[in-house]
Amino acid sequence: MNFKSIFFALLLIVLSANFAIGQSTDFKVTKSEIFKDKNTNSDLAFSASDDKGGLVLLRHLYSKLGMNSRGYILEYYDENLKLVNQKEFEDKKSGIKGMFVKDNTVNLIECIVNKSEETIEYNVIKGSLSDFNFTKNNIFSIGKDNVRSPFAIGVGLFFFSNFSQIDHDPYGEVRISATGKYIAFNFDIKNKKQETHRVLVYDNQLNKVYEKEFSENIKDKYFKYNSFEVSDEDGTVYFLGKAYKNESFKDRVDDQINYTYKLYSINNSGVNSKSFETNDTYINSLEVLLNQKGLFCIGMYSEKNSNDFRGFAYYKLDKNELTVQKTKMTPFSEQFMIDKHGEKKGKKKSDKKKEISDVVYRDFFISDNNEIYFNAEEFYITTHTTFGPNGQTSTRTVYHYNDIYSCKFNFEGEMIWMRTINKGQATSGLTDYLSFTSGVKDGKMYLFLNGDDDVKKLKDNRIAFAQASVKKMNLYVIEIEPNGDFNYKILISDKDSKVTYRTNGGLFSNKFSAIFLEGNKGRDKRIAKIEL
């Protein structure tokens, strides 16, 4: 074979590979100056734009062990991440549930429990970006006795709680619509005989648009809330739950799937609801997604039980009638299983319709180009107990963050691609530097994660991202192309960075088309903006 033939043969191999090294987009990375906090631990909570390229960032401060809140710090940066102003909110009992900027004013949605009045208060803390002078005004209050609150008690070896009966945050959830026109509040109301929720919606001037309470004729513990979203068009709230039948959490009763999904639309005109079946497939949970073009429920399904996964579940619904317009269950592709297990084993598992387990949903994105993106992760916890020579015991809990599962649909439920990104990460300490942060732009999915210098080469032209010590982690970016091919590269090397970036708590901003990450090394911190 002559040189020309060899060249074109090698070129063909490169072009047909499923991944490439170092061929991803050039990213603009802007870093703030190194700064120090009196609190070692903090998380990025919310980000917003000042419409001039500047960044408003809220960080949640924690105690050294990460167990107790130490308040919040609000920071205002210019387009080059130069700090313009900052303000610390030291009330440890205050929780910030949302943030938006309007007319050069930052608005923080605060939740606080007033023990003397026995109420849960929602306030707006607002201040001009020009001077960072803040005032607080009450939006509304709700009686603490009206809301289902958590309790837990231990008696000897036995532990009792009502955690399973509480739908997410017991003090209320907040959603802000896509462009910030509406703010929605959702409360799980105390009612053992019926599942009851109260929804309040305000405009961005914090004028009340409507307040509605609705109930489902089912005991509270047998209704599992999934998600809710608020429309940017008219403030309609879409609320999804999973209703178990026969007062049982069993997957099947009398050879029938023992639950249905219940979707509600709530607006100023009233409350509408519809149930839809899963057609003899098991679905652990679904997520509501919507934009001006459609309403969808997305998740994973199984043919065995509600804790395993065979593929991706898609429902398209009518926004007004809530009727199901289209349903599609797409099994994991052969390529997906080859990514995970290798050529021979992956094909065999695909042919035998094998399922996967230990999956948690991570991110959902819906675009104006009729695309839906979904990321999940293999996550599980193990405990290890050792026994000493004198009868003492020591137990260690390990958190495992392994493979990433990513897919892309169109609005008709047709799968464009699905991929497995192999990685292995585990820790019995801080989890902040593990897992990943993701974002979408122009039909491409971007995943940011930490890893070792050497990416493992697996058989069958596969790779796996390996773990390194916190001080030696490189920040990688994986870019999944519109057709599902992906490439990767080191974006920030540990040798060139004074901090390690916390990929488990990054923020994606549509407004900036950027990812924001906080980097740490002891008390030294830095903010990075990565423009997609």
Residue 261 lies in a domain: yes
Percent of the chain with pLDDT over 70: 90
Tens digit of each residue's pLDDT (9 = 90 or more) over 130-188 = 999 999 999 999 998 778 654 334 433 333 433 344 455 789 999 999 999 999 999 99
How far is residue 121's CA from residue 139's CA, in Å, rounded to a whole number? Answer: 8
φ and ψ of 65, to 5 deg = -85, 0
Give the integer Cα–Cα distance in Å for 348 and 334: 9
Q: Is the backbone of residue 65 left (phi > 0), alpha (psi -120 to 50) or beta?
A: alpha
Instruction: Say if residues 182 and 204 touch (Cβ distance below 8 Å).
Output: yes
Does residue 175 share a domain with residue 271? yes
pLDDT grade, residue 38 (50/70/90)?
confident
- Residues spanned by the domain of 480: 345-531
Altogether, the residues listed in the chain come to a count of 532
Torsion angle, alpha carbons of 17, 19, 21, 27, to 10: 130
Are 272 and 368 found together in one domain?
no
In this structure, the answer to whether residues 170 and 234 fall within a common structural domain is yes
Q: How confident is the model at residue 475 (pLDDT cuts 50, 70, 90)?
A: very high
Based on the domain organization, do 349 and 230 belong to the same domain? no
For residue 110, pLDDT beyond 80: yes
Please state the rounded mean pLDDT for residues 14-31.
Answer: 63
Say if residue 62 is exposed, middle or buried (CB neighbours under 10 Å; 0-12, 13-18, 19+).
middle
Percent of the chain residues topping a pLDDT of 90: 77
Query: For all residues of the chain together, what is the average pLDDT?
Result: 89
pLDDT at 162: 39
pTM of the model: 0.90
Confidence of residue 326 (pLDDT cuts 50, 70, 90): very high
Which residue, 331, 355, 380, sits at the end of a domain? 331
**pLDDT score, position 66:** 60
300, 305, 310, 315 alpha-carbon torsion, rounded to 10°: -30
Q: Kindly tell me the burial class for residue 431, based on how many C-beta atoms sit within 10 Å of its own C-beta (0-12, 13-18, 19 or more).
A: middle
Last residue of a domain, one of 331, 359, 379: 331
Q: Of the residues 331, 358, 393, which one is the last residue of a structural domain?
A: 331
Contact between 139 and 123 under an 8 Å Cβ cutoff? The reply is: yes
Looking at the predicted structure, is the pLDDT value of residue 279 above 70? Answer: yes
pLDDT higher than 60, residue 207: yes
Pairing of strands 356-357, 259-267: unpaired
**Residue 414 and residue 324 share a domain:** no
Residue at 22 is within a domain: no
Asked if 260 and 353 sit in the same domain, the reply is no
Give the count of domains, the chain. 2
Pair (248, 216) in one structural domain: yes
Domain-embedded: residue 18:
no
The helix (run of H) or strand (run of E) holding residue 506 is none
| Same domain for 386 and 274 | no
The tokens describing 225, both together, are 């809330």
The answer to whether residues 489 and 476 touch, using CB atoms and an 8 Å cutoff, is yes
Does residue 388 carry a pLDDT above 60? yes
- 410 lies in the same domain as 322: no
Mean pLDDT, residues 474-501: 96
Same domain, yes or no: 379 and 516: yes
Same-domain status, 302 and 384: no
The reported pLDDT for the residue numbered 155 is: 37
Which of 13-22, 116-125, 202-211, 511-520 is predicted most confidently? 202-211
